Amino acid sequence: MNETAYKPPNHPAIPPRRIGVLLVNLGTPDATDYWSMRRYLAEFLSDRRVIEENRLKWWLVLNLIILTFRPARKGRDYDKIWNRERNESFLKTITRSQTDKLGAALANEPRVLVDWAMRYGNPSIRSRLDAMQAAGCDRILLVPLYPQYAAATSATVCDKAFEALARMRWQPALRVAPAYFDEPVYIESLAASVEENLAKLPVKPDVIIASFHGMPEEYLEKGDPYYCQCAKTARLLRERLKLDDKQLMLTFQSRFGPAEWLKPYTDATVKALAAQGVKNIAIITPGFSSDCLETLEEIAMENVGYFRAGGGENATVIPCLNDTFRGMSVIETIVARELKGWL
């Protein structure tokens, strides 16, 4: 019996096998103008993980009210802290630098490709996963740069990554680095940063405020572990610094809308401390791996302004770990652990 051998169509050569590491942070608008802000806010506030309202009700509120008025106001806020040299937000600048430094730390592993993405805005998760897959990465480590897990942050990064993979015929294997809220390297890096910054001050703070991004109380009631992980970070930091809960206070910022959010609120706490006669405070933001709008504008400008207007004198904002050697030690430690078995 004559059989005709199967001849596959011309196909590009399979590239050498590589391993991808993708750092992901929350996101940033491309510019501060109205339409750039509107596009960014529309993507962010349309995410069902972020806003768990009735979809029809929320669509009307978002499109008829919020996206009409909020882009201009938020654009002015971003404009206050915009990196004019690069014409981008500092979140984008810092995340790029973290990626470059991680790549340098892994330079002795030529198979590893390090890249970065934003959950909202650019570069998108889908575009970077596509690029990694095209470059031969058949294994990808996804690293959400959120120390504490929340459905509205970590989970939505995974949602977008899985959505991108669902479009691929040839999918890479995917690992996701877990939250690192109680990792010793993270706690030690935070504590050392606090000690180093406080040592430079002529007057020591009476109170340190650890301000984390807030979320609706309803999300905690539904089972989100975020509050508990923030509380554990604060407790471990107190223990390391030998402070009590009056000396290092846990608060939550950035509430939005009429719902009750996690308490105590940062702005209310700052105002209350000033009213009580406290003259010197320091604020840290352990829930952010990079300085961004919420730290550079909301904390360093808005909340410091509340404190001084209420009679406070000295308010020091300690930077995030960012791309400092301490910040990079956290990222490098997490990545090295999660790559085990692949390298």
What digits encode the pLDDT tens for the residues 244-270? 999 999 999 999 888 899 999 999 999
Q: How far apart are CA 218 and CA 102, in angstroms?
A: 37
Say what the pLDDT of residue 271 is.
98
How far apart CA 67 and CA 34 sit, in angstroms, is 10
pLDDT over 70 (residue 304): yes
Q: Which amino acid is residue 299, in one-letter code?
A: I
**Residue 102: predicted pLDDT:** 98
Tell me the residue range of the domain where 255 lies.
184-317
CB 99 within 8 A of CB 326: no
Between 12 and 76, name the one with better pLDDT.
76
**Residue 290 pLDDT > 60:** yes
Helices then strands, counting H and E runs in the chain, come out as 13, 8
Torsion of CA 36, 152, 291, 108, to 10 degrees: -100
Q: What is the mean pLDDT of residues 75-83?
A: 97
Residue 220 lies in a domain: yes
So what's the pLDDT on residue 13?
67
Which domain CATH number covers 285? 3.40.50.1400
Q: Where are the beta strands (DSSP E) in 39-111?
A: none
Instruction: Write down the pTM of the prediction.
Output: 0.94
Task: Please check whether residue 26 lies inside any domain of the structure.
Answer: no
Task: State both tokens at 55.
Answer: 């979809």
Taking the C-alpha atoms of residue 309 and residue 107, their distance in angstroms, rounded to an integer, is 50
**Residue 223 domain-assigned?**
yes
Q: Examine residue 85 and state whether it is found in any structural domain, yes or no.
A: no
On whether residue 34 sits in a domain, the answer given is no
Domain for residue 333, yes or no? no
Q: Which residues contact 227 (CB under 8 A, 6 or more apart)?
A: 215, 220, 262
Q: Is 5 contained in some domain?
A: no
What is the length of the chain?
343
Q: For the chain, what is the domain count?
A: 1
Q: How confident is the model at residue 6 (pLDDT cuts 50, 70, 90)?
A: low
Q: If you average pLDDT over residues 16-30, what whole number do you get?
A: 96
In this prediction, residue 81 carries a pLDDT of: 96
Rounded mean pLDDT of 17-26? 97
Residue-wise pLDDT tens digits, 147-201 = 999 999 999 999 999 999 999 999 999 999 999 999 999 999 999 999 999 999 9
Q: Which residues contact 149 (CB under 8 A, 6 or more apart)?
A: 155, 178, 179, 181, 225, 226, 229
Convert the pLDDT of each residue in 39-59 to its tens digit: 999 999 999 999 999 999 999
pLDDT at 256: 86
Q: How far is CA 304 from the centre of its chain?
A: 22
2: confidence class by pLDDT, cuts 50, 70, 90:
low
Residue 223 tokens, joined: 């089972």
Nearest-CA neighbor of 210 among 260, 259, 262? 262
Residue 298's φ and ψ, nearest 5 degrees, are: -65, -45
- How far apart are alpha carbons 129 and 171 in whole angstroms? 10
Domain-located, residue 24: no
